[in-house]
Amino acid sequence: MTKIPEIFGKFVFNETVMKERLPHDIYKALKKTINDGIGLDRAVADCIASAMKEWAIEMGATHFTHWFQPMTGITAEKHDSFITPAPGGNVIMEFSGKELIKGEPDASSFPSGGLRATFEARGYTAWDPTSYAFIKDGTLCIPTAFCSYGGESLDKKTPLLRSMEAVSRQAVRILKLFGKTEVTRVVPTVGPEQEYFLIDKEVFEKRKDLIYCGRTLFGAPAPKGQELEDHYFGKLKPRVSAYMKELDEELWKLGILAKTKHNEAAPAQHELAPIFTTVNIATDHNQLTMEMMKVVADRHGMTCLLHEKPFEGVNGSGKHNNWSLTTNKGENLFEPGKSPHDNAQFLVFLCAVMSAVHKHQDLLRISAASAGNDHRLGGHEAPPAIISLFLGSELAGVLEAIKADSDYEGTGKQTMKVGVSVLPEFPKDSTDRNRTSPFAFTGNKFEFRMLGSNDSIACSNIMLNTMVADELRLFADELEGADDFLSAVHELVRRNIKEHDAIIFDGNGYSGDWVKEAERRGLLNLESTVDALPYYIRPENIDMFKRHGVYNETEMRARYEILLAEYSKVVNIEALTMVDMVKKDYTPAISNIQRNLCETILAKRNVCPDIPFEAEKLSLQRISQLADRIFAANGELDDALKNVPTGTALEVAVYYRREVVSRMKTLRALVDEIEAHSDRNFWPVPSYGDIIFSIK
């Protein structure tokens, strides 16, 4: 029987290991670096590296790598062994402080948006001591940031760390005004729920679209999907249960706080949720979680699908980013208080989020923008593309009362004047759940539900941290000069509610009426990635990120180019795969179906001329017509791919969205229709029913 405390963090160079293996003064110096950002001198780094190496070797490691997160959205690593030549043809195992702190991988082959060229290949990795080193596959992995020779960020970790500093700096300013002088740091904490599909590996290997694209490009609906809602929270199948057990253990060994596991709504869909932790560590852990999900699935003869919409007509997979702010004294800043003073503080931070979400809807939408997520948003429990903030009726009522300076009928009639009245006592989660809401307050945190399953959570949290930091900056500037602090707080909260409550919506996000109402309120409806991305480089967004030192303009424009190019590449690969499947798989299968019908008709005519064969004739006619239309649609898609224009990254992405994606939808509908009317014995690939019910 697994004893969790004994295996938890087994492969992590964590606080306990550091205390055991580092001299006291070295440990204190490292902690000062972690807590205060103080640099390490070479002697301290050498001592830490030596202890880390000895521990890693004892745990079976032979190599080390700087583990980083380039702008591909996945992780990267280059492995070096510990061996160093020694006299007599021998080797010794060495690892220096210099190797710990800094690496020099080739930067030219990663997406850079023009920041790097092939002839400017040098990039640097720099140790992030706030994330623990760990061992994976016999290699000591050192979490690092990744930057160019000129100092520009080439990764997702560096701007995330910068955004954490930004929101901490501004939040501390606010807290000092409320008398919290002992607070020196505020940390964003995150618990990312991870959805995924499990299918049989043998079935996966028979589908080119799943292999190349991670999603099915064709597929008629199965007779049964998620209509009965019998899969959600249902009993785990034995193979799935065994998989989840091993996955938990592998994650626990890496110090990942895997907590909850269950079946999700769609057949073959599941979810894993961790306990909250600091956002940079949560980001590292989520990347490792996705990697381990795939590795462990393979051991069990299954494939883990992390695409946002692997199957049409059933739920896609999201990643719910539960975000909060916590002080170094352990106070959750989104926890309503029991005194007027605490509630005034709560409302200031709540209004900062509300204002930020309203002003920066575009950035939140962009943080969840991808070709895959375009298929998911707007249905089957995924939120719509319109950003709104869900507070629940009770808290929304509180804000409405403050806005109007009126009585609030909550847990007793009271006038809502900030700093004087006490808010109703909220249970831990006083709000109902709204699965159509992109951004919801859930008691003491905000749940951002738009992220796709395959996304890194770094981008969304960079956006959240920075835009909330900017609002807190404005609030602090105003309140620091106030003569009457509580009156100033009341006026600030009331004014921000009046100016930004258009973002608050507690209704059905799928309703057509909401689309019209959102337009009336002036909210953005950025339906696709191509619609959203141009907002990324709006001057006001560039200015905000520059103001807080999270991105410079060059870094932002580079990311804009990368996101557009990634969209075009994904659509291009999918379209090429569709054309290939139609030419090499579906067309021969359709010909066989027609041949079989012809042979049946001829046989009936020759053997039993008096027996009618209208059914076969009608089937043949329908399939022949569809076959002609499929041939024409596939040719049109093929031609569209051969005529992609040269131009800016935006022009190319717009072309793919308008000309290629539309043709892909047309072709898919035709192929799916012919599948629905064909003998499955002639069909060249596993059907939806074969796939989503492949795990017994």
Decide if 4-154 and 566-692 have a common fold: no
Question: What beta strand segments (E) does 217-283 contain?
Answer: 258-263, 269-274, 277-278
Higher pLDDT among residues 95 and 493, named by residue:
493
CATH code for 4-154? Answer: 3.10.20.70
Task: Check whether 10 has a pLDDT greater than 70.
Answer: yes
pLDDT digits (tens, 9 = 90+) for 387-442: 999 998 778 888 887 887 776 555 444 444 554 454 545 444 444 456 678 999 98
Task: Check whether 149 has a pLDDT greater than 70.
Answer: no
Residue 609 pLDDT level (bands cut at 50, 70, 90): confident
8 Å CB contact between 418 and 347 = yes
Task: Check whether 119 has a pLDDT greater than 50.
Answer: no
Instruction: Provide the residue ranges of all domains of the chain, joining segments of one domain with +.
Output: 4-154, 163-551, 566-692
Q: What is the C-alpha to C-alpha distance for residues 109 and 446, in angstroms, rounded to an integer?
A: 37
98 token code pair:
């210099």
Question: What average pLDDT does this structure show over 165-180?
Answer: 96
> Among 66-70, 199-203, 310-314, 502-506, which is the least confidently predicted range?
66-70
- Report which secondary-structure segment, H or E, holds 601: helix 587-607
pLDDT digits (tens, 9 = 90+) for 536-545: 999 999 999 9
Question: What average pLDDT does this structure show over 363-376?
Answer: 95
Question: What average pLDDT does this structure show over 565-587?
Answer: 97
58 token code pair:
């004892």
Question: What average pLDDT does this structure show over 186-212?
Answer: 96
Burial class (CB in 10 A: 0-12, 13-18, 19+), 428: exposed
396 token code pair:
């929304």
Q: What is the C-alpha to C-alpha distance for residues 686 and 229, in angstroms, rounded to an integer?
A: 24
Query: What are the C-alpha distances in Å from 13 to residues 105, 128, 254, 269?
Result: 23, 13, 10, 34
Select the highest-mean-pLDDT range: 118-122, 153-157, 232-236, 627-631: 627-631
Q: What is the C-alpha to C-alpha distance for residues 586 and 572, in angstroms, rounded to an integer?
A: 20
> Among 101-105, 297-301, 638-642, 648-652, which is the least confidently predicted range?
101-105
Residue 669 pLDDT level (bands cut at 50, 70, 90): very high
**What integer best gives the mean pLDDT of the chain?**
88
Question: What average pLDDT does this structure show over 293-299?
Answer: 97
What DSSP string runs through 365-389? HHHT--HHHHTTTTSTTPPPSS--E
The second-level CATH assignment, the architecture, of 566-692 is Up-down Bundle (1.20)
pLDDT of residue 416: 45
Task: Check whether 185 has a pLDDT greater than 60.
Answer: yes
Provide the percentage of residues in the chain whose pLDDT is more than 90: 65
CATH code for 163-551? Answer: 3.30.590.10
Kindly tell me the sign of the dihedral angle through the C-alpha atoms of 348, 352, 354, 358: positive
Residue 354 pLDDT level (bands cut at 50, 70, 90): very high
Residue 381 pLDDT level (bands cut at 50, 70, 90): low
pLDDT of residue 150: 67
**Structure pTM?**
0.91
pLDDT of residue 388: 95
pLDDT of residue 626: 93
Task: Check whether 117 has a pLDDT greater than 60.
Answer: no
Pairing of strands 389-390, 439-441: parallel
Question: What average pLDDT does this structure show over 86-101?
Answer: 73
Higher pLDDT among residues 613 and 177, named by residue:
177
pLDDT of residue 2: 72
